[in-house]
Homo-oligomer: A and B are copies of this chain.
Amino acid sequence: MPKAETRGLADTLKVLSDPNRLMILELLMQGVQCNCELGDKLGLPMNLISHHLKVLREAGLVDAERDPVDARWVYYSINTRLLARLRDELYAFLDPERIVPRLPTCGPRIASVEALRALRA
């Protein structure tokens, strides 16, 4: 896992690490789409919702689209591709099978371990 990838993943996780934003995502998944109704359901002012939506949009997790009939309304939706990619990435990263039992390169028993290795070689 390269260091650059780690940065990107951490940035995305930071976006998700807010309860209000998680709830917004949850509501968007359930089909709710406009700022006002998100605010109603969460009991939060519209400007705060707008702020969090902007963060989600800048992370690419959420898309915005204006209503063609009444352009005052904006409908938000989830970027399915990015969501799926993030899901896969996290699923791979958090895989418990990946864990290596123990790889001692440090500590008091190193000397004897090294001696064993030398013997075997």
Contacts and interface: CB of A to CB of B under 8 A. Distances in A.
A119 interface: no
Q: How many copies does the complex hold?
A: 2
Contacts of A10: 16-19, 21-22
A43 to B, nearest CB: 10
Given A6-B23, A23-B6, A37-B106, A87 B94 contact: yes
Interface string A7-45: 101110110111101110010111111101100000000
For chain A, give the interface size range: 35 or more
A80 B97 CA distance: 9
Contacts of A101: 31
Among A13, A87, A93, residue most surrounded by chain B Cβ atoms (within 10 Å): A13
B91 A87 contact: yes
A105 to B, nearest CB: 6
Contact of A87 (B29, B75, B95): B95
Nearest to A26: B1
21 contacts: A1-B23, A1-B26, A3-B19, A10-B21, A10-B22, A11-B17, A29-B99, A29-B100, A32-B103, A32-B106, A33-B102, A33-B103, A67-B108, A69-B108, A78-B96, A80-B99, A84-B94, A87-B90, A87-B96, A90-B90, A90-B91
